[in-house]
């Protein structure tokens, strides 16, 4: 249960990071 929570948080962080990168690339 704890591992699933950590994985969920990691996935959200990766998703947010990916969106930020796409924004930077799109603006460049």
Q: What is the pLDDT of residues 1-28, one digit of tens each?
A: 677 787 888 889 999 999 999 999 998 7
φ/ψ of 2, rounded to 5, equals -65, -40
pLDDT at 6: 75
Q: Where are the domains of the chain?
A: 1-28
pLDDT at 22: 93
CA distance 15 to 23: 12
pLDDT at 20: 94
pLDDT at 7: 81
pLDDT at 3: 79
Q: pTM higher than 0.85 for the full model?
A: no
């Amino acid at each position: 249960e704890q591992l699933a929570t950590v994985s969920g948080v990691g996935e959200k962080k990766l998703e947010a990071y990916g969106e930020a990168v796409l924004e930077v690339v799109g603006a460049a």
